[in-house]
Amino acid sequence: MKKYNFNAGPCVLPKEAIESTINAIRDFDGTGIGLLEISHRTKGWERIMAETRQLWRDLLNIPEEYEVLFLGGGASTQFFAVPANILNKKAAYLQTGVWAKKAMKEAKNFGEVELVASSEDKNYTYIPKDYTIPADADYFHITTNNTIYGTEIKYDMDCPVKLVADMSSDIMSRPVDVKKYAIIYGGAQKNVGPAGVTFVIIRKDILGKITDRQYMNPIPTMVDYRTHAAEEERNISMFNTPPVSSIFVMHETLAWLKNLGGLEAMNKINTKKAETLYNEIDRNKLFVGTAEKEDRSIMNVCFVMKDEYKELEKEFLDYATECGMVGIKGHRSVGGFRASLYNACPQEAVDALVKCMQDFEAKH
Ligand SMILES: *Cc1c(COP(=O)(O)O)cnc(C)c1O
């Protein structure tokens, strides 16, 4: 039976990207050697690195004064790499979920951390709106899409200090005004590739300004963004061995995205998918969405059974699984269901899920 992949991450990827990667694993670039075995110091691989970086620049319109780095360690490593590089005295954090909380915890090792606002009081079902960003903070950290709770900051905010964003789960889902950010980072495995590679987009002029701090100063070589940025400047972007196979899949995924028409086109498709599912949640007598309507994510759609139908939750999960739905069980801290509608998730999958919800409603 046909399977529809709604996993929250690692995510569904374009079939084209999987196919071309399989071919490259057998024979990379006509070399007779497979992708998993090539040296990363070859012309063929340097070309893929340069093209991947160019795809990022083209798709997101990244200005010259920014570098694009591909690192290991996941978004979780950036939770401490960001403060290690730019927290001199004080940082400000917006707490919109456990990822944001984890990021904040790491920053506390480097300096004073101000919690600007939190939505923990209502299990992160909304994005706080009324808050003041302290003008004396080195930076303000936000999580644009809260993967677990299905809330999203869908615009690029004005910020009086350097704006740092964890965009792990909504990067490349919509156009972004990169100029408004000092750093954008995330793990690739939610929307742009498989696990194993982390992207960091960084404005170069903010680096090398740690003067007042003792801890991790000097910054360890691998953690220091300047190490990797300097390599990019020399147009190789490889201080050490990069996650070659993950970057290759990302390259193929972004080429697919560019071919599709880029981020304006992708955003239209994503918005339609999200609308389809939210409309059904709001219409169906059995279900209710968990996030505040105005803060609903277009990437992760969270919903539960209404109180009077709570006992049907397991039955629906079993039914949906029978219908081919994969990965719709909600995160344990929210319960219910979560359908992740990342870029490569087709409208057809959303339509199938909606039909499954309607058929289930008809049975009850
Ligand atoms: C998944 C996720 C992370 C953690 O990413 P890793 O690459 O597994 O470290 C961080 N932030 C957000 C918003 C996420 O969705």
Which residues of the chain, if any, have pLDDT below 70? 232-237
Query: pLDDT per residue over 204-257, tens digit each?
Result: 999 999 988 989 999 999 999 999 988 766 666 688 999 999 999 999 999 999
- Pocket lining: 102 vs ligand 1, CB cutoff 6 Å: no
State if residue 166 touches ligand 1 by the CB under 6 angstroms criterion.
yes
Q: Which residue has the least CA distance to atom 7 on ligand 1?
A: 74
pLDDT the model gives residue 230? 80
Q: How far is the CA of 43 from the centre of ligand 1 (A)?
A: 32
CA distance 225 to 68: 10
Residue of 56, 99, 273, 329 with catalytic role: 99
Residue 236's pLDDT is 61
Global pTM reads 0.97
Nearest to 313 by CA among 302, 322, 304: 304
pLDDT at position 209, please? 94
Cβ(169) to ligand 1 under 6 A? yes
Atom 8 (ligand 1) nearest CA: 74
Contact partners, residue 224, CB within 8 Å, separation at least 6: 84, 85, 218
270 CB near ligand 1 (under 6 Å): no
Residue 308 sits at φ, ψ, to 5 deg, of -70, -10
215-224 per-position pLDDT tens digit: 999 999 999 9
Our mutation pick for probing the ligand 1 site, out of 99, 145, 246, 302, counting the most ligand atoms within 8 A of Cβ, is: 99
Known catalytic residue at 268: no
89 given a catalytic annotation: no
* pLDDT value of residue 325: 98
pLDDT at 143: 98
